[in-house]
Amino acid sequence: MSDLFDLSGSVAVVTGGAGLIGSSLCEALADYGATVVLVDVDEAAAKDVADSIDDEVVVKIVDTTSQSAVEALFEDIVDSFGSVDTLVNAAYPRNENYGRRYEDVSVADWEENIALNLNSYYLTCHSAVTVMQQQASGGSIINLGSIYGVQAPDFGVYDGTDLTSPVEYAAIKGAILNFTRYLASYLGEDGIRANVLSPGGVFADQDPQFVAQYESNTPLSRMAAPEDFKGAIVYLASDSSGYLTGQNLVVDGGWTIK
């Protein structure tokens, strides 16, 4: 293992760590030596993920939209491990109406879904930064974006299916990009780096017609697997990206080049 990618002795906090992408990110960070704090609201799923990873993974059941819960989480992590070296935001809190077509999205749902997600990112970043600013080593913040944070959805890939790309998703993922750039600019003097990892579409047993239409528009001719983001997360968390900040690393099989 190259020292540039070695995360031994570091502490990585992953919100949404029990999710499809988050679980793979936890595994990658643990494989390269980090102590992983897996944060999620689904206790059963979180424990299953932790049990499936041989390396040290600590499960914390926390609502990342709650200021008091997030602040208590980071206090607990510092008390237990002494540092927060990496924060990965992969959580995606949303209400029960999320996923409706544009015409059916109420103002109340628009406001709630945007607030839930962006507040989660803000709260976790704010608490992590409070810790990282006291560390000589600074830290690395990695926020999960999306291809639909940098370009408009291609609604043709949803033709003939019940699927769509929610309007809140575009607003949230676009906002995450510039929020992260703000953090990179503001926190650079503290040695804190902030970057975005933007996945392309991930296969999750979607409607076969959607999958075929999506893959026909992707240069690599397939949807992503969760494992496709492992290398990117280790790169962004480790010293191998020590001079990289304020950037958006798009891992999408070439989708956004078209």
Q: Which two tokens stand for residue 96?
A: 């029960």
Q: What is the mean pLDDT of the chain?
A: 97
pLDDT at 2: 62
Q: Label residue 84 left, alpha or beta by phi (over 0 means left) and psi (-120 to 50 means alpha).
A: beta
Report the candidate in 195, 189, 198 with the shortest Cα–Cα distance to residue 238: 195
- Give all strands of the β-sheet with 57-61 in edge-to-edge order: 57-61, 35-40, 11-15, 86-89, 139-144, 192-199, 248-251
User: For residue 150, what pLDDT band results from cuts at 50, 70 and 90?
Assistant: very high
Tell me the C-alpha distance between 23 and 37, whole Å: 11
55 pLDDT higher than 90? no
Q: Give me the percent of the chain exceeding a pLDDT of 90.
A: 97
Tell me the C-alpha distance between 84 and 92, whole Å: 21
* Residues catalogued as catalytic: 169
Tell me the C-alpha distance between 34 and 13, whole Å: 10
pLDDT at 56: 82
222 pLDDT higher than 70? yes
Q: For CA atoms 112, 120, 41, 31, give the dihedral sign.
A: positive
Q: What is the pLDDT of residues 126-147, one digit of tens each?
A: 999 999 999 999 999 999 999 9
Domains identified in the chain and CATH numbers: 3-251 (3.40.50.720)
Q: Give me the percent of the chain exceeding a pLDDT of 70.
A: 99
